[in-house]
Amino acid sequence: MSDAAQPTAAEVRAAAEAVKAALDRHLEAVERRTGDDDPAVFDAFNALAAAAEVYDEFLYDRYDEVTPFEIPGAEDSLPPYAGPEEPHALSVLIRRDYAVAQPARLLAQAQRLADLDPEGHEGDAVPVVGAGVHAALGVLFGEYEADEIASRHKEFGLEEGDSTLWVSALEELPEAGEWLGAPFEDADPELVVCRFDVSAVFDEEDERDGEPEDAVPERA
């Protein structure tokens, strides 16, 4: 940040005072809470998180210093848990993004798998699946479990993007086949028991603190 755009010392001090006030409001909300999921506590937490983020940014921009604590941003935190106290079932939702970083490697791996599979051959012909990424991905994910692809993604010419895992509580298991048509349509953040996020954005933030950390769990 340029010197002209740096916050003033007074602005840093004001941001610090805002954190102090937010701390007081958060403690008051906790002392008066009516239950584990009191919305007033949740709102006070988000206000404290927002104030702390501003102070941390101003402190770094003005003095090249950071705070010794980290409060997750309000936009990243989960809403109050509203699921069953004693879940009888659970649902695990996983999303992993990949970039096709090396298409030639992906195509070669898919063709190798096709060459090893005797089924689908007509006479002496060998099925050619390496001609397109779409077909190659179908072969790859048809052969390997998603967890194995995650652990071997570089071998298949893939580059990891963001990923997230949600563990959601359920009263009971849905009927067989009930949600297969739209598996993620009913994902409800209020039913999440815990979640784990992996993103390069965390690496960028933690480089400033000197403590790289990929997996960021939310509610425990």
Q: Encode pLDDT of 56-69 as tens digits.
A: 889 988 998 888 77
Residue 63 structure tokens: 């003095």
Nearest partner of 162 among 101, 100, 96, 77, judged by Cα = 96
Residue 1 has pLDDT above 80, yes or no: no
Structural domain that includes position 203: 79-101+157-220
Let me know whether 45 and 60 are in one domain: yes
Let me know whether 170 and 61 are in one domain: no
Percent of the chain with pLDDT over 70: 78
Nearest partner of 197 among 85, 81, 77, 117, judged by Cα = 77
* 168 strand-pairing partners: 91, 192
Task: Give the integer Cα–Cα distance in Å for 205 and 202.
Answer: 5
Q: Note the residue count of the chain.
A: 220
Q: Exposed, middle or buried, 92 (CB in 10 Å: 0-12/13-18/19+)? A: exposed
Planar angle of CA 172, 173, 175, nearest 5 degrees: 125
- The H or E element spanning position 166 is strand 158-170
Nearest partner of 49 among 20, 33, 70, judged by Cα = 70
Q: Exposed, middle or buried, 193 (CB in 10 Å: 0-12/13-18/19+)? A: middle
Nearest partner of 108 among 123, 138, 128, judged by Cα = 128
Let me know whether 90 and 168 are in one domain: yes
Residue 203 has pLDDT above 80, yes or no: no
Let me know whether 123 and 141 are in one domain: yes
Let me know whether 65 and 90 are in one domain: no
Residue 100 DSSP class: E
Let me know whether 92 and 164 are in one domain: yes
Let me know whether 92 and 193 are in one domain: yes
Let me know whether 90 and 164 are in one domain: yes
Residue 81 structure tokens: 């848990």
Let me know whether 87 and 162 are in one domain: yes
Task: Give the integer Cα–Cα distance in Å for 187 and 169.
Answer: 11
Let me know whether 7 and 31 are in one domain: yes
Q: Report which of residues 201 and 212 the model is more confident about.
A: 201
Task: Give the integer Cα–Cα distance in Å for 25 and 30.
Answer: 9
Task: Report how many domains make up the chain.
Answer: 3
Residue 187 has pLDDT above 90, yes or no: no
Task: Give me the sign of the Cα torsion angle 55, 27, 194, 173.
Answer: negative
Q: Report which of residues 214 and 97 the model is more confident about.
A: 97
Residue 105 structure tokens: 């490697």
Residue 126 has pLDDT above 50, yes or no: no
